[in-house]
Amino acid sequence: MRIEWIKTHHQALAPFNRFKEKAHTKATKLFANRKGALYIHIPFCVGRCRFCILYREYPNMPYEHFVSALIREMRKYRSFQPEVVYFGGGTPTLLPTTELGRILDSIEKRGEIKEITIETTVSEFDEKKAEELASLGINRISFGVQSFNNKKREILGRRSPESEVIEKLKLARKHFEIVSIDLLYDLPYGNTLQEDVKKAVELNIDGLSIYPLVYNTTMQSYPHPNIEENEQNFLEAYDYLKEHGYKHISINHFSNGKDKFLYSEYFTHLDKPLLGIGPGAGGHIKNYETFHPPRIRRYIMDPYRVNVFSMPEEVFCGIRVIASMLKGNVKILPGNFAASLQVALNREWVGLRGKNLMLLPKGLFWANTLIYLMSLDFLRSYVFH
């Protein structure tokens, strides 16, 4: 039986969307006096990477107007205490450091923040930016590398050559406690994942997030590897990382032991609050999800527009158990998931260790597919219960 390869956790959990309803509860009330992760979305981007499927906007207004709107919104959540902060985008480092400082100054006194991450691109990073970001207390930086290979970078629309990528990663190594990169496979005309992983290890990169490319209209026009080849390439990269001391810690992320990637725990443990701020930002708390409408100009005019959705408690319990599979190790009752777990056992995606279900190397490749099958299993039992 051929099974569809599900590439993202959003697609994997999509069967639950039909149970989400618009809620009349205010987000400010839900997050009041809670601790958790703070995600700040900076959608500005000057590049037009041909593979990108994310929401982004070209900066065509004063940055300070946008930051002032962010701070206005954040003031509504004064009692929320961030444990980790994540600047995502877009390209957050397009913001002048003074503006990033304004944002951090507005949250710095609320509890002890363990990790502050900022995403960046190679082309938007230099010595001056590194020094300024580090001076703000940002201790983790994540680069969208995708591939070191110049031909692949050109196809993907990345502007910097391999030599500059390596130079900038070495620069980041001097200034930040943790340096992480994103790598892609299922690339046009074949993968370079093994070579990319080797270069990352040679550069002593602390964390690697390894994703299959989600094909948009532009990328779909190219030939790309079949599933079997992608699986083989992923497993070869996994073996190399394991041989060099890296371990899978969450979702698609591998660490050399230094990178704890604390922010990712708020995706694998859905009972941990995640507050999203900014246009296009999402969040969750208990059985509620929040989503900010996109469009920067509209956000500047009214930064308080947040859509809140809820789902039944029983459904949330199911999605919480399933999402925890992204951690790779979960205690689970097989009753609601008998069919999907049987598929996973037969195909060597999972193994049993006592009462724990462990994702095996093949299971890391097929993790989102397994989550999708588990979602269908659970919802069948829920609907016909």
In tens digits, the chain (385 residues) has pLDDT values of 679 999 999 999 999 999 999 999 999 999 999 999 999 999 998 877 777 777 778 888 899 999 999 999 999 999 999 999 999 988 999 999 999 999 999 986 666 899 999 999 999 999 999 999 999 999 999 999 999 999 999 999 888 999 999 999 999 999 999 999 999 999 999 999 999 999 999 999 999 999 999 998 888 889 999 999 999 999 999 999 999 999 999 889 999 999 999 999 998 888 899 999 999 999 999 999 999 999 999 999 999 999 999 999 999 988 988 888 888 877 766 677 889 989 999 999 999 888 788 999 999 999 999 999 999 999 988 876 6
53: Cα separation from own chain's centroid: 13
Query: Is 3 contained in some domain?
Result: no
Q: Which 3 state secondary structure label does DSSP give 332?
A: coil
Please indicate, yes or no, whether residues 263 and 316 belong to a single structural domain of this protein: no
Please indicate, yes or no, whether residues 245 and 332 belong to a single structural domain of this protein: no
pLDDT at position 110 is 62
DSSP state of 118: E
Count of domains observed in the chain:
2
pLDDT at position 312 is 95
Q: Residue 374: beta bridge partners?
A: none
| pTM (predicted TM-score) | 0.95
Strand pairing class (21-22; 253-255): unpaired
pLDDT at position 13 is 94
pLDDT at position 1 is 65
Query: Is 255 contained in some domain?
Result: yes
CA nearest 289: which of 263, 308, 270, 268? Answer: 308
pLDDT at position 384 is 66
Helices (H) and strands (E) in the chain, counts: 16, 16
Question: Which of 267, 283, 302 corresponds to the end of one domain?
Answer: 267
Please indicate, yes or no, whether residues 171 and 105 belong to a single structural domain of this protein: yes
pLDDT at position 364 is 96
- The span from the CA of 252 to the CA of 298, in Å, is 34
CA nearest 104: which of 136, 140, 70? Answer: 136
pLDDT at position 332 is 67
Token pair 């290979």 in the structure block, residue: 149
Cβ contact 91:141 at 8 Å: no
Please indicate, yes or no, whether residues 257 and 326 belong to a single structural domain of this protein: no
Owning domain of residue 381: 312-385
CA nearest 158: which of 142, 172, 147, 170? Answer: 147
- The span from the CA of 365 to the CA of 368, in Å, is 8
Cβ contact 302:279 at 8 Å: no
Please indicate, yes or no, whether residues 257 and 342 belong to a single structural domain of this protein: no
- The span from the CA of 253 to the CA of 259, in Å, is 10
> What proportions of the chain, in percent to the nearest 5, are helix, strand and coil?
45, 20, 35
Beta carbons within 8 Å of 64's beta carbon, 6+ residues apart:
99
CATH code (residue 119): 3.20.20.70
Please indicate, yes or no, whether residues 146 and 61 belong to a single structural domain of this protein: yes
Token pair 């829920």 in the structure block, residue: 382
Q: Which 3 state secondary structure label does DSSP give 348?
A: coil
Strand pairing class (247-250; 274-277): unpaired
Q: Which 3 state secondary structure label does DSSP give 10?
A: helix
- The span from the CA of 43 to the CA of 300, in Å, is 13
Please indicate, yes or no, whether residues 318 and 263 belong to a single structural domain of this protein: no
Q: Which 3 state secondary structure label does DSSP give 81?
A: strand
- The span from the CA of 51 to the CA of 147, in Å, is 12
Strand pairing class (329-331; 307-310): unpaired
pLDDT at position 259 is 98
pLDDT at position 150 is 96
Find the helix packing angle between 367-383 and 338-346, rounded to 10°: 160
- The span from the CA of 335 to the CA of 325, in Å, is 16
Cα atoms in the 13 Å half-sphere on the side-chain side of 285: 23
pLDDT at position 164 is 97
DSSP state of 12: H
Burial class from Cβ neighbours inside 10 Å (0-12, 13-18, 19+) for residue 192 reads buried
Please indicate, yes or no, whether residues 91 and 154 belong to a single structural domain of this protein: yes
Query: Is 50 contained in some domain?
Result: yes
- The span from the CA of 6 to the CA of 266, in Å, is 21
Please indicate, yes or no, whether residues 326 and 211 belong to a single structural domain of this protein: no
Dihedral sign computed on CA atoms, order 56, 57, 63, 67: negative
pLDDT at position 187 is 96
Please indicate, yes or no, whether residues 101 and 192 belong to a single structural domain of this protein: yes
Question: Which of 267, 300, 324 corresponds to the end of one domain?
Answer: 267
